[in-house]
Amino acid sequence: MTGVSTQTGGRVRRPSHGPGSLLEVAVREFLTRGYDATSMEDLSRAAGITKSSFYHHFSGKEALLRAALERALDGLFAVLEEEGSRSGTPLQRLQHIVRGQVAVLVAELPYVTVLLRVRGNTESERWALERRREFDARVAAIVQEAVDAGELRNEVEPAVAARLLSGLVNSVVEWVRPDRGPDHLPELVARAAFEGILPAAHDR
């Protein structure tokens, strides 16, 4: 545990030290230790490089957090720009968005997990919370459209439904494994959202 090359403890698979792999290492440390408890010292050690090399790529811990949050949010907002989220009936668009959200969540699991643990203690965290609210508001607006169009039962309260939907979708990060392909999961979560997690047999 004395040389730089052995200090990584097997956590860095590729010996590349570009900004991408440093971000990957940093996110892993944030998730293990908690963001507040992680120092640049910890991050350099985990990456197997000197602190000054680390600072060459990122100005500090918050810049890494910001990059991680941007990656998660860019993925989620990209779903809203997809053709399937912009055309079709409101219900079809919602179905597309839920599937897309789950797919991003699986593909960008550590980044989305960092995003969902954010509590607003730093400027980047408050920015991310604001962006999350914006995402949820856009979904809530489409839920409202679907209710107005008569596609959803009219006892659905759009603001509450959007929150429950976001809660259902985001809870997947708590148990999904990174190696589980997204093939089955987006459909499964979408069915849970639109037909119930525990749909009674007599509904059929």
Residues 149-168 that bind a copy of itself (CB under 8 A): 150-154, 156-157, 160-161, 163-168
Consecutive H or E run containing 76 = helix 61-81
Contact call for residues 79 and 100 (beta carbons, < 8 A): yes
Tell me the three state secondary structure of residue 5: coil
Is residue 200 part of the contact set for a copy of itself (CB under 8 A)?
A: yes
# chain residues binding a copy of itself, by CB under 8 A = 43
Q: Please name the residue that has the structure tokens 């979408």.
A: 190
Rule CB under 8 A: say whether 204 interacts with a copy of itself: yes
88 touching a copy of itself, by CB under 8 A: no
CB 113 within 8 A of CB 31: yes
CA distance 32 to 13: 17
187 lies in the site for a copy of itself, by CB under 8 A: no
Site string for a copy of itself, 23-52 (x = CB under 8 A): -----------x-xx---------------
Q: Which of 81, 83, 174, 179 binds a copy of itself (CB under 8 A)?
A: 174
Whole-number Cα distances in Å, 188 to 40, 67, 182, 194? 40, 30, 10, 10
Instruction: Give me the residues that bind a copy of itself (CB under 8 A), please.
Output: 34, 36-37, 91, 94, 119, 121, 143, 146, 150-154, 156-157, 160-161, 163-168, 170-172, 174-175, 188-189, 192-201, 203-204
